[in-house]
Structure 1
């Protein structure tokens, strides 16, 4: 497919290139509007590799564009893909002194840009090849801060030489201890701590933070939108991730990068590796980095520990993670640190396709102190969901197993009220409500509906235990989900739903009864009051309970005039259309009764089968009911010599017939909801 947005960029560059050859006073039209269009395009879409190379030439070769225009282009030079060696060398070649060189202010912007796109370099080693050129420019004060930052990123063990150490020390003394030079010297010391000693690195030093985090964030957004181009820019997995000062979002904690301190002259460290061949050749000789927890973010260290596992390494990583938890518990670190660590661990698991036991230990302790499940579950869903019902169903299965696990822990706990899962379960169910509602719409199959009901059956079983109900607030399914499931074409789904709602109703009754008199079926007392969350749900629960009874039993489907009735949330305009359709099919019918026991698509076969069995058993029957059964048709049937059966006995008989066939949920709900049936059960 042709990208029309990308097509516009070459034309803008063409226009600017032509204008750059003409002195400003001789141009017939101003160039500023075209520059603004170019920078806007770059900010919105980024530049492809070809366009990036042309812009690099435009910025680095002598021309008649003003400095403000060149600076504006540089500041908006967002790559949409990787950055080639040619582009890098264009900017490196433009550095230094000379009449044909760009201004030093513009050179500082070039170096700043190289720092910000370092992670996108097609070949990071290209900067190592021009290391000497960059180093020799350190005496230029105007570009020294950006140059030191770039050298700090590029520096490897092979670049650290005595003459360079001496040159930095000399220049540092001449400049009065420039913090940027001190910061670069500390990078050198990481490779040769035994050489660089004394007070040389004790002064104020630059931290080499990212020059513009907002620029980087916008760059990431462009890269994400152009994912097809990003696939060509996979970062070299055989070199250390040297991004200095990687910080966890919103915290003061730092995830260490790979550094091997106290390395000897004959040591072989990961920092020296930049290709697969060198990595394989020295696999058994590497000295482990000082901070092994860097494995969570560094691809090369991940490969080393995967191919050369170490119990000591696992222990050190586990200790670091547990220390993070300890800092949060003691108040020395923000609790958001934990969520940041989960995000880092997620990236690690995706990269390595494995989940080491030490991470299970971390999560076991993590869940004991984390008091808000939503961010964690959202993070999990971001990783697992791929916009398909199958991934949603897999996630629902996971949540169901998690609920069962927590329920088991609560049941085995001597004091359920002190167990953290008791406060997490309502959050989990509320979160699953959204997933279940979405799944019921994206995949309205019987299998999906039954899987959803499996989850809520486990919830209902949990609430049926008085010992647990006294510590856990009730969380009902989403009302729209209840209606979606009730109007399922499967009798099994309808019956299970009704049975689960009956269990929920008994749980509500147990909690709402007075503490002195309330008791469950087992005789245990539930001594607690409704929570604020539960009180807000009672009306919703009563609403869909009334709606289901109106459909099944009372012949008043979709009414909204009864107390608590919501009309199954069916808009009045839709009801009007459906009512006209029903009247057109049968003038004596109405929408209000077509979802009852006799007419509902899921129940009509069972209802007429019940009548047929009664008629087969009674030899005196002279007339059979043609069906469907109504109160008026039963009276007419009796007058014609058919079965003498009251409307109430017929409906009760259908409920019992359904129960005998394995669909007892409907009877259970009716006998727990309809007052006349409740009285009948008691007698």
Structure 2
């Protein structure tokens, strides 16, 4: 008889669960189907897509009592309890009820597996408080030898101050005295001691096994993938916190962490502490009566304590934080100068400062003072990402001051470390510009200049500095090399941000130098060319959206320079006038007339229909020629089908396409395609393949073209 696994795949989970229930009540010798086959179907489904709440309940109910199933099958099922949704509370209650001694209880191995499973999924339960409400039941099971270690780990994770009662402290101390140095029990006792150090005297030994084990990496990755697919963005991820519960690091290193968890020392049973909060309602209701935690430095990494510090506004709390940070950072600075720093500890401190900056969107004054001095001794390598991220939260102030105090020392540290470090520097400036933009104060609408306010001047000067740095870096690289390509992409990302962020009377329009635009335009990359065209289009839209007349807000030199770049790129792509200077309106991409003439002579000698004027248009540009040809083939085939021509008999055009050749093609019996319609179709064809810049540029540069063909696109 074929097994159920040979005919039923994970889609038939319902039938498999029904078969599993029947098998659990049927002695092995009386079964007609192998249990292993049924278990295989359930486990395959669980691994692939997870178990929904009903399926999870069914498997838990079957495995949480003594049945006719063999231990191997039960163990396999417990190890494959992958929930596709939040774990229902009734399933948790069923599991807790299955623990301990008693007739009908599952085996000790199964019970231990259940407790380990609760440890793994305790953060994705439907009711986060369910284990807290079952705390008394779980604590009463500590005399069960087979599950004591796992149970201590679970209790260490869910213990809150309200759970730490005198009678439980007494029971733990008695167990500890009777069992000696049992690691998991000592770990739970340490949690209790953190809440009441004045009651639990003496030291509790700590070892690696004292702390709850980290969930299996493979299991965690699998459950994350299952839940993300099953619940899309509606359900929080595996480690999501609601922000209104004190963070616990869980498995800690034996070595003391630089930033401790939140603990309120010298509290009694009537004290109101942050550790007892697990929802926003409790936090708001008790905000005015909280006992202040013992080590306020925990606010660097704990979301709940950060909220408390921000909302309390207590001068004493602020002074405590400043005092600790000033002493700590001064010690670290002196240790670095003496080459005796503990880099792991220092990294923890910096990471905590960064988390705080990311939460508040600003740097503490003491951190600014520290960074000012640290940059003078920094090697540009240690903790480079954290340092750059911290500096990106510098408050906006005159660029000249920021440059002398922070940016010049930073560049001296970063630039000697190669191109990758230089790219990080450009990315840092992009982040800094974004932060300063958020901090900049709006100007009055009647202001006569876009740079009248110091904040707008600081933004302009910062962007100008990045332009100079970008030009210098580009000129130092070999065009087309892999390193140049990566650097160009980083620079373009900065200008894509810069070209779209401007707001009248708030964020000024800051143009890159025209020479930098032309350098980027001539890069041997289709993607780069398309991105440059898109950036110019963005600037054109920014000027169009600005209140008129534009000359009131921006100097004529700036607008004239932009118009020159706009016209040169338009000539290059659309008008077949590439590299032809027509001062003062266009400069031909700064190509010297002698060079332009020499190139023209060379091209006409190679092909009399080819010349310098047409060499860069949409059909002949070496970056776009293959794309244009592919687009033309598609256009030609569509026209043939539309007009009902014979594909084998009609005259076809081999390309490159030009206005004159389209007229000749029509006269020779080929398709009839308008020159402008062809070029617009090429722009659309490029946009569909991720190269939207040329189309955006042309429609921004030519209102007539947009009016005629905009509806088609």
Q: Which moved more, 1:135-144 or 1:251-260?
A: 251-260
Counterpart among 509, 513, 517 of residue 457 in structure 1:
513
Pairwise CA distance, 1:198: 3.0
Selected match of 1:228 from 219, 228, 233 = 233
Which of 126, 142, 165 is the equivalent residue of 1:161?
165
CA contact (8 A) 1:547 1:567 kept: no
Larger radius of gyration: 1
Q: Is 1:434 aligned to 2:511, yes or no?
A: no
1:246/1:254 contact within 8 Å kept: no
Structure 1 unaligned blocks of 5 or more: 381-397, 464-473, 501-541, 589-600, 603-683
CA distance in 1, matches of 2:228, 2:327: 32
Give the structure 1 partner of residue 152 of structure 2: 148
Query: Partner of 1:357 in structure 2?
Result: 364
Counterpart Cα distance in 1 of 2:515 and 2:397: 9
Write the mapping of 1:245-324 to structure 2, written as runs, cut at 5 A.
Answer: 245=251, 253=257, 255-264=259-268, 267-309=271-313, 310-315=317-322, 318-319=325-326, 322=329
C-alpha offsets along residues 412-440 of structure 1, whole Å, 9 cap, x if unaligned?
99987973364554544476733566799
Structure 1 residues 416 and 188, CA, compared in 2 at 3 Å: closer, same or farther? Answer: closer
Distance in 1 (CA, whole Å) between partners of 2:599 and 2:202 is: 87
Between the aligned partners of 2:600 and 2:533, the Cα distance in structure 1 is 10
What do residues 302-331 of structure 1 show as CA deviations (whole Å, max 9, x unaligned)? 332222133135426745984897578856
Aligned partners of 1:19 and 1:27 also within 8 Å: yes
SS of residue in 1 equivalent to 2:226: helix
Say if 2:61 and 2:94, in contact at 8 Å, map to a contact too. yes
**Partners of 2:347 and 2:383 within 8 A in 1:** no
How far the C-alpha of 1:115 sits from its partner, in A, is: 1.1
Q: Residues 475 and 183 from structure 1, CA distance in 2 versus in 1: closer, same or farther, beyond 3 angstroms?
A: farther
C-alpha distance in structure 2 between counterparts of 1:551 and 1:59, whole Å: 84
8 A contact 1:240–1:271 mirrored in 2: yes
2:88 corresponds to which of 74, 84, 87? 84
Match runs of 1:90-101 below 5 Å? 90-101=94-105
Aligned to 1:69: 73
Contact 2:66–2:107, Cα closer than 8 Å, also in 1: no
Q: Per-residue displacement from partner, 1:338-379 (whole Å, max 9, x unpaired)?
A: 59965x7776667x5654535963777787748469994999
Report the Cα distance in structure 2 between the residues aligned to 1:572 and 1:142, rounded to whole angstroms: 70
Give unpaired runs (5+ residues) of structure 2.
Answer: 1-8, 427-483, 541-559, 570-590, 604-610, 631-652, 666-678, 681-713
The answer as to whether partners of 1:192 and 1:262 remain within 8 angstroms in 2 is: yes
Q: Within 2, Cα distance between the matches of 1:580 and 1:367?
A: 58
> 1:164 and 1:413, CA in 2 relative to 1: closer, same or farther beyond 3 A?
closer
SS in 2 for 1:91: helix
Q: Point out the more displaced range, 490-499 or 46-55.
A: 490-499
Q: TM-score, normalised by structure 1?
A: 0.58
In structure 2, the CA distance between the partners of 1:363 and 1:219, relative to structure 1 (3 Å rule), is farther
Is contact 1:183-1:205 (8 Å) kept?
no
Q: For 2:364 and 2:342, locate their aligned partners in 1 and report how far apart those are by CA, in whole Å.
A: 25
Counterpart of 1:198 (choices 173, 184, 202) is: 202
Partner-residue secondary structure (3-state), 1:185: helix
Residue 483 (structure 1) aligns with: 529
Once the two structures are TM-superposed, the CA of residue 35 in structure 1 deviates from its matched residue by 2.2
Report the Cα distance in structure 2 between the residues aligned to 1:63 and 1:426, rounded to whole angstroms. 63
Asked if the contact 2:224/2:237 (under 8 Å) is kept, the reply is no
1:210 to 210, 213, 223: 213
| 1: CA distance, partners of 2:514 / 2:406 | 18
How far has the Cα of 1:333 moved from its partner? 4.6
Q: Distance in 2 between matches of 1:97 and 1:40?
A: 32
**CA displacement at 1:409 relative to structure 2:** 5.5
Distance 1:492 1:88 in 2: 70
Mapped to 2, the partners of 1:408 and 1:478 lie a distance apart of: 38
Q: Name which of 631, 634, 656 aligns with 1:579.
A: 656
Query: Which of 240, 243, 250 matches 1:244?
Result: 250
Of 24, 29, 37 in structure 2, the residue corresponding to residue 25 of structure 1 is 29
Residues 521 and 529, structure 2, Cα contact 8 Å, conserved in 1: no
Q: Residues 246 and 256 of structure 1 are in contact (CA less than 8 Å); yes or no, is this contact kept in structure 2?
A: no
Three-state SS of the structure 1 residue aligned to 2:174 is: helix
- Number of paired residues? 504
1:129 aligns with 2:133: yes
| Equivalent residue runs for 1:452-531 within 5 Å | 456-457=512-513, 479-484=525-530, 485=532, 495-496=564-565
- Contact between 1:258 and 1:289, CA under 8 Å: does it hold in 2? yes
Distance 1:577 1:328 in 2: 69
2:52 corresponds to 1:52: no
Residues 167/47 of structure 1: CA separation in 2 closer, same or farther (3 Å cut): same
Match of 1:186 among 178, 187, 190: 190
Q: 1:12 to 1:264 in 2, by over 3 A?
A: same
Q: 2:413 aligns with which of 407, 416, 420?
A: 420
TM-score by length of 2: 0.56
Displacement of 1:478: 7.3
Distance 1:176 1:442, change over 3 A: closer
Shift of 1:56: 2.0
- Alignment partner of 1:568 is 2:623: yes
CA distance change for structure 1 residues 185 and 483 in 2, over 3 Å: closer, same or farther? closer
Cα separation, 2, equivalents of 1:149 and 1:25:
40
Instruction: Pick closer, same or farther for the CA change 1:14–1:411 going to 2, 3 Å.
Output: same
Question: Contact 2:10/2:41 (CA < 8 Å) preserved in 1?
Answer: no
Change (3 A) 1:58 1:313: farther
Which deviates further from its counterpart, 227-236 or 237-246? 227-236
> CA offset at residue 216 of structure 1?
2.8
Residue matched to 1:110:
114
**Range with greater deviation from structure 2 (141-150 or 291-300):** 291-300
Once residues 235 and 184 of structure 2 are traced to their aligned partners in structure 1, the CA distance between those partners, rounded to angstroms, is: 33
Question: In 1, are the aligned partners of 2:514 and 2:561 still within 8 Å (CA)?
Answer: no
Preserved CA contact (<8 Å) 1:156 1:272: yes
- Give the C-alpha shift of residue 493 in structure 1: 6.9
- Once the 2 structures are TM-superposed, how far is the Cα of residue 410 of structure 1 from its aligned partner? 5.5
Alpha carbons 1:410, 1:422 under 8 Å: kept:
no
* Cα separation, partners in 2 of 1:314 and 1:377, compared to 1, 3 Å: closer
Deviation string, structure 1 residues 475-531 (Cα, Å, up to 9, x no partner): 99674455334698889879438999xxxxxxxxxxxxxxxxxxxxxxxxxxxxxxx
Conserved? CA contact 1:339–1:375, under 8 Å: no
Counterparts of 1:406 and 1:247 in 2: how far apart (Å)? Answer: 43
Shift of 1:144: 0.9
Aligned with 1:41: secondary structure? Answer: helix
Query: 1: distance between equivalents of 2:91 and 2:515?
Result: 60
Relative distance call for 1:441 and 1:178 in structure 2 (3 A) is: closer
> Deviations 1:445-486 (Å, cap 9, x if unpaired)?
9999xx9x967539959x9xxxxxxxxxx9996744553346
